[in-house]
Structure 1
């Protein structure tokens, strides 16, 4: 059963400017996420997709970021590139996540299932 669906879209340029600030990077992305993105050829687009994913997840939960930090949500990729969700200290339910980007936008859709 689907408990919630969330989607988010963000301008890549906006995230490109934000990730120049180390404080922003530490506030929004876990160390593991930062390490993974730094090794990617399209790191700005990847950071933007992760940001959109975290926004989509809290929208699916229906809570926004009340009582939850950006770094409580960790997105990682398996060997095939499929994104997975890990929620630190919160509900551990099944999530489906789809991420995409073009030159100007990144988009994410999150489905929270029982």
Structure 2
């Protein structure tokens, strides 16, 4: 490869040895890319990050109350947040970051399918259920690590999924294209 030739790394969006979904690269597909794709190999990671204003979570909660909480958070997440909007916002940001790492956005993955819990040490961890778990398995993600930070005005989170072993070859149904966006747009 020429030293001057650019290299475009392939995002972790499918199983190794599977063709990349052409739609991922826009109207021109893979053929329209400015450089050749470099396939993933070895230890692969999928990263997502999100930041949210605590005031947005507060406004949605004030407008929708328990309905909002029950739609987005599990009972354990609500209990561990102890009524603090910054902690709920942090969990919301983690869920958004996980969706980005899974490469789905909120399409086909439910809010409560990602559960952000604190271990005894206080460190956040995540449990995946339903379609979120299926998507992680499809990508061969063997572990997820999450971190979040809360301030009075903002909460930020990062999620890192690690693929250290080949993914299972079990057939996985494609995730639905139904979106759950708009929860904060009201």
TM-score, with length taken from structure 1: 0.90
Q: 1:32 aligned to 2:76?
A: yes
Which digits, 9 at most, give the CA deviation of each residue in 1:12-45, with x for residues without a partner? 111112223211111110111112212x6xx111
Note the aligned Cα RMSD (angstroms).
Answer: 1.4
Gaps of 5+ in 1: none
Query: Which of the numbers 68, 71, 76 marks the counterpart of 2:112?
Result: 71
Corresponding position of 1:94: 143
For the residue of structure 1 that corresponds to 2:120, the secondary structure is coil
- Once residues 67 and 6 of structure 1 are traced to their aligned partners in structure 2, the CA distance between those partners, rounded to angstroms, is 17
Equivalenced residue count is 111
Gaps of 5+ in 2: 1-42, 164-186
Looking at both structures, which has the greater relative contact order when contacts are Cα pairs under 8 Å and sequence separation is at least 6? 1
Which digits, 9 at most, give the CA deviation of each residue in 1:31-78, with x for residues without a partner? 11112212x6xx111000000000000001101111110000001011
Between Structure 1 and Structure 2, the one with more strand by share is: 1
TM-score, with length taken from structure 2: 0.57
> Rg bigger for which structure?
2
